[in-house]
Every structure is written in structure tokens, then in C-alpha cells.
Structure 1
Amino acid sequence: MKKNIAVVYGGDSSEYVVSVQSGKNVYQNIDQEQFNPWLVEMKNSTWSVMLEGQKIADVDKGNFSFTFGGQTVKFDFAYIIIHGTPGEDGILQGYFELLKVPYSTCGVHASSLTFNKYFCSNYLRNFDIPMAKSARLMKGTAIDADLLVSRLKLPVFVKPNAGGSSFGVTKVKTLDEVVPAIEKAWIESDEALVEEFIEGKEFTCGLVKLKNETFIFPVTEVVPKNEFFDFEAKYTAGMTDEITPARISDELTHTIQQLASRIYDLCNCKGIVRVDFILRDGQFYFLEVNTTPGMTATSFIPQQIAAMGQNLKEMLTLIILDEIG
């Protein structure tokens, strides 16, 4: 009997719209000869099973099942593709752990660590991972712009400490812009991160480690036409050149892949993860770990898998079978 696979998308953050597109693409690439895929939308407290854009059932949160056509369908596996809370920060992972439902992403601790950029960066500093200096400001606290600028210099990046897809991110060039940028970041997160600006080219490397096999994907070079890789650059066609494999030497390619692999292990990651870097003067500086990276048809991960000579359907099958056999 084929296993029932829940492709869980949606969430409660500004990244909902991206998650919808990622969810559709993952759903379309689940091998229906081996599995029964179902789309599960989570939005606030409403969890719905969707079919052709229409709700067909409510999810029973007591055992992660639903009733359809007079039959109870129990999910055997959850492919989590929620960007942001509650799918990327460990909350949903805790729910599945309690129910003993296998799932695709990092566990509770790794998810919560990597979702908090400040905590993750400070943890990785202990292992001599190169990265920018930063400061964290809790929502509502007094902002000393002069002190921040004296410590980090201008320009700086201001971003939400918990979140992704470049919502609420500002490149700050003047002292007067510091406070408005932090307040903008606080809209997305209760914590704002102010980071030293490292000038260089951006690169990203995806990977997944299964029980008996590791796939470190080809590296992508990110060349935004905007000043930096903001939301518009990420999700507007033609606003960014995404070059896979990246135009760097074999030596630098090996360096970034091994660094991404080391960070994956240090953070105790699981499932497909993407690690972002800036290259300056021959050294890669860590930006962040994405434990639920975008999976739209044009996202980095599907591009990298294709460049590796495989397809997304094959990779998803390996990930599912690695958890449920």
C-alpha cells in the first residue's frame, strides 16, 4: 500500500506566498507511482487538505489525519515546506515528534537554532567560521544609532533576526536611516539584527545528507540587479542572474562545499539545507543557514539538483524513503 505524504505549506509569516508556490512544486514532484501526495495548508489555527485549489477536509490535529470519501487517511510522512514560522523554527517539528510522524527537515533544536540568525552566528563563531560582526536589538528597546555605527561602520545591513526571503531587510548608508530600518525589521520579528557590511559576491550551496549517502549540490553565484538580494531580486523574473555552477575555480568550489558541509554537521541539520555566503578576497563569509529553502520551479535548490544531473522527483523520493523505508 502506498504511503500518504503530506506536503505541508503556508505558515503565519510574510513568506506565506512563497511557501504556496514551493508547496505546489514539491507536490507535483512527489512520485505518485510510489506515494499518495496530499497538499496540507496551515494558516494560523486552520489546517486544511487542499485538492485543485479547494479545501476538501480539515486536518485532525490529534493524530495528523483527515477524513475523505468516508475513509480516514493517516499521514505517514510530512514534507515541510513552510518558510518562516511555524515550519522553520522548530514548532511544527515538535508537533511531529510528539506524534512520531517522520518529517523532512531539521529537528526541533537545529531548526530553532538556525532560524535565529544571531544565535546561529554566535554558535558558529566558536568553530572559527568567518562571518560579519553584528548586534541584536530587541523590539521596543532604545536605539543608539551612533554606537551601532561606531562599532559596525557604514554601510550596514539591518534585517529581522528570525525570518527569510529578505522581508524587512535594508541596506543602511547613513546614520539617519538606522532607526527607520530597525523599526522596519521589527515588523517582521521581535528582534532586529544589525550586521557589518562585507562587500563581495554572493554564493549559495545546497546539500542533503541521508543515512548512507551525501549530496553536496553545485554552487550558485547570485548576481542581483538591485543593490542587494532583496525580495524583489529573489522573486521577480529577470531581476537576478543565478549562475549554476558558479563562475569560480574548482578550488573555491571545493572550499565552499566543504564549508557548507561542516556547517550542516555543526548545526546537526537534516533534509535539504542551503547555506549562503559572501566571497571577499578569496575567503567565504557565512551569511545564514536556510533549513527550509525555497522549492519553487525557479528556486536555487531545483536549479542545483538539475545542474548535478538529477531531478527533483528523484531527490524527494530518496529523502522520503530515507525516513520511512
Structure 2
Amino acid sequence: MKNIAIIMGGYSSEYKISLTSGNVVYQNLDKAKYKGYRIHIFKEKWVYVDDNEAEFPIDKNDFSVTVNGTKIVFDAVFNAIHGTPGEDGLMQAYFELIGLKQTSCDYYQAALTFNKRDLLSVLKPYGIKTATSFYLNQGDAINQEAILNKVGLPCFVKPNKSGSSFGISKVHTKEEFLPAIEVAYKEDNEIIIESFLDGTEVSVGVINYKGEVVVLPITEIVSENDFFDYEAKYLGKSQEITPARISAEMTQKVGAIAKKAYEVLKMKGFSRSEFIIVNEEPHMLEMNTIPGLTTESLIPQQAREAGIPLTDLFTNAIELALNSPL
């Protein structure tokens, strides 16, 4: 019986979603193979939370926990933290330093993919198309006219390093532009301003399943709101259609691009890439390396469509981690 630490929570606005994802992992672990431990990672505390909600502090020297006088060490970590420090490379680097195996990609890939503008810059030479964009760092002078001349209206203003659509605004008029920048800066000190791509939005899950890189059935996203924002993602304000209503050729094309990005970046674990298809050309928006794992989330939906139950999906991730070299 292997001890598996399921880390959840985190330091960002996404912590509540992460707690839900982590609990879904906990509930769907193969109990014959693994003993799961829910570990809450917050700035003020790292604790193991038992089934009675009692908390036991984690020893950060070796990521162990002592419960009623017994020291528990873990065979592997299942990473379910969306946002920092689980999705941006910090936890990955820590686990590598202390020699503990974990289910997500390595620290470099996590840091790179978490930084939307760096990710897109790295993938561009491989022929992966993106929206026209403009970058700002907090404190930079804002030449509104030059930016809007480049990206046009409507456009999107996004925090560069944040998830679950926190801090994103769709800007329709010049008057909305500066307030949108303020909203984005509340989440991050770097922002990305992108042209509006008018097309079909799809989400493509890519995983290593039993040693082979597999593209999961693609999801089409139809938001009731102006774009796929927090409400659309988590509060039912969108239709998520799996498989997507796109041609077989386009399914193959966008799947191949998502798989290429996964392989070029030497990814491990889960990835979910978002694209907008304009004039038969997929444009990549971002890649998530700790995608949502709640029962409503896209990767579980796609796995279901592929005939992979959640328990198998999570077992596969854990076994790949356990069998990987440190």
C-alpha cells in the first residue's frame, strides 16, 4: 500500500477550486493500492487534514507528517494545486530537491507554461499560431493608442500568470481599457493584451496514458457570457460539448498541435490547452498543467468520453510518477 499525499489549496484566488479538485482525487483513489492523505498548502500553514478535519503540521524538511506519534512519509505526491505554488514550478522544484516523486510536469515546464507570454513565445517557432498581443509590466507607461492600434477592439486584457479567468476583461471601448488594466494588475504585475479572436473555442486535453502521449476527446466551449470567464467555467454559464462540433480534419489538426506542444516542451502528467479556431486555423491561448479535476471539469469530462474512469485516470498519473526516475 503506497502513501499518496494529495496537495491542494495554494496561495492564489484559485484555492477553492483546488480544494474541490483535491477532494475529487481523494474520493476516487484506488483504495486497494493507495492510502490517500489530503494535504492543505496555504501561506500560513501546510497541514495534513484527516477525515475528522483534524490538522497535523507537515515537516517541510522532508514533507512528512507525524500523527499520534507515528511519522508518515509519502511514496508520491498527487499535485492538485491550481495557481501558485503548485502550477508555477515552486512545489515541483521543492519536491525535486527533497527527492519526492510527483504527478505533474517538472519545475521548468510548470514555470514556463504558467507564464502565458513566455509559453507562446517558445512555441511560436514551431508554427503554433497565437493572437496578436502586447505586453505590459506594472509601472510601464501605457500608450493606449499604440496598443489599441496594434491589437484592435474588442480585445482581452489578462493577467499573465493567473488561472480560472481571474482578472480577465473583454474590452469593447477605449473607455473600458484602463479600468481593465487595473483589474488585471490586481492578480499579477505582468499583463498580456490580446486581439479578440472570433471563432470556435476548444479545449484539448493531452496526457501520458500508460506510457503513450494521448489526445483526449476535444471539448467545444460555448459561453453564455461574453467569454469563457469564471462564471462560465464554474457556475454553469457555458455549454461544454464533448466531442467538439468540428470536422474530423480539424479535430485531427488541433489535436496534433496540442500534442506537438506537449512533446516539444517535454511535458509530463496532465495538460489542457485552449485554442480558438479562426478561418480553419487553431490559435493557442494557453496551456494548463494542473487543470481542474472536479467532476464538472474538462479533463474528467474528456476522460469519460474516452472511456477512462476517474479512478483509472488518477491511478495512471500516480503510477507514472512512481515509475519515473528522480
TM-score by length of 1: 0.97
Cα deviations by residue, 1:89-136 (Å, 9 ceiling, x for unpaired):
001100000011001111011011000001111111111111101111
Residue number in structure 2 paired with 1:296:
294
Q: Give the drift of 1:210.
A: 5.0
**Partners in 1 of 2:160 and 2:211 — Cα distance?**
34
Tell me if the contact between 1:201 and 1:279 (Cα under 8 Å) persists in the aligned partners: yes
Tell me if the contact between 2:48 and 2:55 (Cα under 8 Å) persists in the aligned partners: yes
Residue number in structure 2 paired with 1:176:
175
Residue number in structure 2 paired with 1:318:
316
Q: Give the drift of 1:226.
A: 0.5
Residue number in structure 1 paired with 2:96:
97
Query: Structure 1 stretch 52-61 or stretch 69-78: which is displaced more?
Result: 52-61
Cα deviations by residue, 1:252-271 (Å, 9 ceiling, x for unpaired):
11111111100111222110
Please give the residue correspondences for 1:209-224 in structure 2 after superposition, counting only pairs within 5 Å. 209=208, 212-224=211-223
Tell me if the contact between 1:48 and 1:55 (Cα under 8 Å) persists in the aligned partners: no
Does 1:262 find its partner at 2:260? yes
Q: Give the drift of 1:215.
A: 2.4
Residue number in structure 2 paired with 1:198:
197
Instruction: In structure 2, list runs of 5 or more residues that go unmatched.
Output: none
Residue number in structure 1 paired with 2:64:
65
Q: Give the drift of 1:211.
A: 6.8
Tell me if the contact between 2:5 and 2:37 (Cα under 8 Å) persists in the aligned partners: yes
**Partners in 2 of 1:292 and 1:186 — Cα distance?**
23
**Partners in 1 of 2:30 and 2:135 — Cα distance?**
43
Tell me if the contact between 1:7 and 1:27 (Cα under 8 Å) persists in the aligned partners: yes
Structure 1 residue ranges (4+ consecutive) displaced by more than 3 angstroms after TM superposition: none
**Partners in 2 of 1:105 and 1:323 — Cα distance?**
8
Tell me if the contact between 1:114 and 1:267 (Cα under 8 Å) persists in the aligned partners: no
1:181 maps to amino acid: A
Please give the residue correspondences for 1:131-142 in structure 2 after superposition, counting only pairs within 5 Å. 131-142=130-141
**Partners in 2 of 1:313 and 1:294 — Cα distance?**
15
Instruction: In structure 1, list runs of 5 or more residues that go unmatched.
Output: none
**Partners in 1 of 2:78 and 2:2 — Cα distance?**
13
Residue number in structure 1 paired with 2:121:
122
Residue number in structure 2 paired with 1:42:
41
Sequence identity of aligned pairs in percent?
Answer: 40
Residue number in structure 2 paired with 1:277:
275
Q: Give the drift of 1:34.
A: 0.2
Tell me if the contact between 1:27 and 1:38 (Cα under 8 Å) persists in the aligned partners: yes
Q: Give the drift of 1:45.
A: 3.9
Between the two proteins, the alignment pairs up a number of residues equal to 323
Q: Give the drift of 1:203.
A: 0.2
Q: Give the drift of 1:279.
A: 0.9
Tell me if the contact between 1:58 and 1:66 (Cα under 8 Å) persists in the aligned partners: yes
Residue number in structure 1 paired with 2:247:
249
SS in 2 for 1:258: helix
- C-alpha RMSD of matched pairs (Å): 1.1
TM-score by length of 2: 0.97
